[in-house]
Amino acid sequence: MKTFIKRREKNTELVVVYAGWGIDENMFVPLSSDDTDLILFYDYSADEALVLPEIKIYTRVTVIGWSLGVWAAEHLSGKTGIKPDIKIAVNGTPVPADDRYGIPLRIIEGTLNNLGEKNMMKYYYRIFGDRKSFEENRERIPRRTLRSLQDELRWLYNRMMEQSDPSFKWDYAVISEKDRVFPPAAQLNYWKTRKDTKILTLPMNHYILNKWPDYHSFIDFVCEHGRGRTKRKETTLQ
């Protein structure tokens, strides 16, 4: 596992991001602002020791799990010692390899057994949803070796098969209606069983963070519009 840390002594807020499979810092660091510390976990390819900065006192700590990062947040949270004030799940569930609540197991196994450069580009294309969005976000496309992608997916597959019952209390679940990676219906099926989680559906694709200038804006948007139990929000963010 890899860790990206951006930290300044004067900052009083922390954002902790658990990325999904096949990702690097290119998709998440651009949202980092100078007034907020950032810890990004990604490339879950081995049982490596967590790399964390020295403990600081923050006025607000927000955890964002994206895609398989929702599962990763639950799997790793007990080892970090980080106590979040806000927890936001984005386009994922704590049971990601599941026919009803996640990505069908046959699809994950098929990807694992047939992974190649061509398939990975199709995967990144689906993350952004369409050709226009893909081309507009080329600088955010991960730059990973095929071997590292294979190692990570196999590690994730093995750990997900050992999944214990979800225990994380997510405050918000953001679901993209146009998600071509993690079925929106499966996400909705799961989050409707979690009565303590507010659901916000958006007319977006799997990767949505490019629609906000920084993490502050995204977090404030979710907290403002996700107040109800289930709510659909039309947005014109560019």
Task: Write down the pTM of the prediction.
Answer: 0.92
Tell me how long the chain is.
Answer: 238
pLDDT digit string, tens, across residues 121-176 = 999 999 999 888 999 999 999 999 999 999 999 999 999 988 677 778 999 999 99
How large is the average pLDDT for residues 18-24? 96
pLDDT digit string, tens, across residues 168-183 = 899 999 999 999 999 9
The three-state secondary structure class of 230 is strand
Dihedral of alpha carbons 199, 202, 205, 210, sign: negative
Confidence bin at 51 (pLDDT 50/70/90): low
Of residues 143, 145, 158, the one with CA closest to residue 46: 158
For position 235, what pLDDT does the model report?
43
What are the residue boundaries of the structural domains of the chain, listed by start? 2-232
Q: What is the mean pLDDT of the chain?
A: 90
Q: Return the CATH class of domain 2-232.
A: alpha beta
For position 234, what pLDDT does the model report?
44
